[in-house]
């Protein structure tokens, strides 16, 4: 398994993974939303804020983050490759390029939603603590914060 910054040439394989996991994310339901997401991924790739995990040249994990806002913006691992510490390795890779003095924030599903079980357990395991209850794309979410 190779963890690296994404390159423009990765975009098709990247979007194949996003299309597979799109039901886990509010806001990715339509073809137009996926097209918009593709443009977003290319922007993050251009500013070295897109990390991927590759297995035999196929993208099996992706992470978008913002250095300016100290945030994880998108994180997903292919269903067939989960519980192999791929997300954990991508987060560790991200931490090497983030300001070590700033807290890191992410929003995910609130407690009690089946889609949120993996993500909430994952962030807690990585040391994030529960934060404010907010909304995103009209859905209730909760912030998780990695205190530094």
The contact set with ligand COA (CB under 6 A) reads 21, 24, 75-77, 82-88, 106, 108, 117-119, 121-122, 125
Closest approach, Cβ 130 to ligand COA, in A, equals: 13
Nearer to ligand COA, 77 or 104 (CB): 77
Strand order in the sheet with 58-66: 2-5, 50-55, 58-66, 71-77, 104-109, 139-146, 129-136
Nearer to ligand COA, 79 or 97 (CB): 79
Nearer to ligand COA, 8 or 137 (CB): 137
Nearer to ligand COA, 8 or 92 (CB): 92
Closest approach, Cβ 44 to ligand COA, in A, equals: 15
């Amino acid at each position: 398994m190779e963890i690296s910054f994404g390159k423009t040439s990765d975009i098709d394989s990247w979007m194949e993974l996003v299309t597979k996991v799109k039901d886990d994310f509010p806001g990715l339901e339509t073809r137009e939303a996926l097209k918009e997401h593709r443009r977003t991924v290319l922007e993050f790739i251009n500013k070295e804020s897109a990390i991927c995990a590759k297995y035999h040249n196929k993208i099996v994990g992706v992470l978008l983050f913002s250095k300016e806002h100290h945030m994880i913006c998108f994180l997903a691992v292919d269903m067939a490759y989960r519980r192999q510490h791929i997300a954990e390795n991508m987060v560790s890779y991200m931490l090497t390029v983030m300001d070590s003095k700033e807290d890191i924030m992410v929003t995910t599903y609130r407690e009690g939603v089946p889609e949120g079980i993996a993500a909430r357990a994952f962030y807690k395991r990585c040391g994030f603590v529960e934060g404010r209850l907010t909304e995103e794309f009209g859905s209730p979410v909760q912030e998780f914060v990695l205190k530094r």
